[in-house]
A and B are shown apart, each in its own frame.
Chain A
């Protein structure tokens, strides 16, 4: 027997039938160590099969089930019931990530998010042919980008940022973290191309260091720190261009 009954409120929206999003409530059994995802799956499998959500690995690796849970952006599979409620009869709310078009229920249209990802050229750009063996990189140089390589592109950060809410064209922390990751890769020669993209009205300077991204990141990446480093690089490169 489950330890408690919880009230689950889900922001539902089916563009084919509904005028707009609305909240629906469900009663579900839960244990403190259940994931927030397992409660949603209970609704989908046992109460209402029409509920739509993205999920895949259920293990915090694929990044498909980022959503707003009790008002905060989280990966549903990586947050436990005990960290969301005090006990029996409490409520957990689920909504799609804010400031993106909703496809259905908890599924957002990620196409803009992935376009921004592509805009920063998230691949190694190198001058000249590949050497016979690998390009060298010291452990210290590797450590510069290691934290940033943990990103799973779940979108929790970008959709937690007030700048994204205010400006849908804002590149957002996820894409700019990728820009950092490659610009600061000691093997990369593409800084200029990438800085052209991020050093723009919709880029770095709309990051006001509010730290929402850091709080939302399920991988605890120090995003603000890396974006600050990228800002410094952009500023120096601007200065040297002017000089």
Chain B
């Protein structure tokens, strides 16, 4: 059997994929198992919330504002045709809270914080810092990986909420201040259309899931990287590509489960 046989290659790729998936699952279980230390030494998690949450704040706020303002402009154009420009608040708030908030914030988070995590962990592996820690009887899983994981999981929903809120404020600025939609109608129609459990809580659930997935992918790619300069660059690229695809696919699945028939 020649190794160039297409069936051989296909089988090899399939087995490779399954084995990576299995390794990633074991990786996740190890993170959860060793998380106790990082919760007891909470400042480790605080530091990671700083690097993945606080440092992502600027890009999240600015993009949220612009996305909201564009929604305000575009929505106004269409709604005015049907004489219902007052529904602008509903359009802006529902699209942000349900979809754009969690998804766009997650995409930004993956490229801003996820890539940084992969590069950092990958470089630690390449320069053999992780092995050095093991030799000093410090568990790198508990000291390096788990705090980064929980930092990302905690930061993501907060960032998504900030994104939605600044977006709604951007839509308000454009709709009410610039285009002259009635102030009271904007907020009251929004409040009557947006449901706390069906829209807001489901949006938060989405962003928690995204935070979980992005941080796991980023950490795994870093931990699993080929320990060379090229390996790190490839791992970083894979983090951004894989987590973006995972976000979009998961968003579809979660939406299909959450908003059925409504």
Bound pair (A, B): no
